[in-house]
């Protein structure tokens, strides 16, 4: 049976079980550089150090998805958080789910992120890989490099979960 995932607007409150929303609104900030710059400070819990890991910075160039989007696979990173911030000011989708030992597919939910919002998936949180919209888009990534297996994937019945529109 097909389940339609209707994306909700991304806010700190709705995303709290999964990690951080990286945005200016509601963030602590202060003035630096003798008045010329406002620093919105320490916006995400960068959790990458266990088992000899360290933070690295990468850019993901994500092909865009067309609707309807089938959620075929979800993944998680057992050893570290993973932060995405869009570099082209374009909205994108975020799909997450819950489950300790394994993903509980009934918990999968979708969020629509503005082009000025980033997300930081907490360590071990199930999420869909990057879902760019409209056209190929770049995102800056802060995640973990280091020893150990930091990727777990689960495949879903292709017909089960679909997103048919952005909001």
Query: Rounded to the nearest whole angstrom, what is the least distance from the CB of residue 88 to a copy of itself in the complex?
Result: 7
147 binds a copy of itself (CB under 8 A): no
Residue 10 sits in the site that holds a copy of itself (CB under 8 A)? no
CB nearer a copy of itself, residue 14 or residue 24: 24
- Binding a copy of itself (rule: CB under 8 A), the pick from 25, 49, 51, 157 is 49
Rounded distance, CA 111 to CA 93, Å?
Answer: 6
48: exposed, middle or buried (C-beta count within 10 Å: 0-12, 13-18, 19+)? buried
* Residue (of 117, 103, 100, 143) closest to 14 by Cα position: 117
Instruction: Single out the residue of 115, 104, 100, 93 nearest to residue 162, CA to CA.
Output: 93
Q: Interaction with a copy of itself in 54-113: which residues (CB under 8 A)?
A: 54-63, 65, 73, 83, 85-89
Residue 163 binds a copy of itself, judged by CB under 8 A? no
Select the span of 9-17, 28-36, 103-111, 156-164 touching a copy of itself (CB under 8 A): 28-36
Taking CB under 8 A as the criterion, the residue among 116, 134, 157, 158 binding a copy of itself is 116
Burial readout 57-92 (b: 16 or more C-beta within 10 A, e: otherwise): eeeeebeebeeebebeebbbbebbbbbbbbeeebbb
In angstroms, give the least distance from the CB of 9 to a copy of itself: 20
Decide: is 25 part of the binding site for a copy of itself (CB under 8 A): no
User: Of 91, 99, 104, 81, nearest to 135 (Cα)?
Assistant: 91
Q: Does 43 bind a copy of itself (CB under 8 A)?
A: yes
């Amino acid at each position: 049976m097909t389940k339609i995932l209707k994306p909700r607007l991304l806010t700190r409150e709705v995303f709290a079980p999964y990690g951080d929303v990286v945005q200016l609104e509601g963030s602590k900030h202060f003035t630096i550089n003798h008045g010329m710059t406002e620093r919105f400070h320490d916006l995400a819990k960068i959790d990458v150090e266990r088992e000899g890991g360290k933070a690295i910075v990468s850019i993901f160039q994500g092909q865009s998805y067309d609707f309807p989007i089938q959620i075929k696979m979800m993944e998680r990173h057992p050893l570290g958080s993973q932060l995405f911030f869009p570099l082209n000011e374009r909205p994108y989708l975020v799909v997450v789910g819950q489950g300790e030992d394994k993903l509980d597919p009934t918990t999968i939910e979708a969020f629509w992120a503005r082009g000025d919002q980033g997300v930081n998936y907490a360590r071990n949180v199930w999420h869909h890989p990057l879902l760019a919209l409209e056209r190929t888009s770049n995102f800056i990534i802060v995640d973990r490099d280091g020893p150990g297996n930091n990727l777990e994937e689960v495949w879903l019945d292709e017909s089960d979960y679909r997103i048919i529109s952005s909001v």
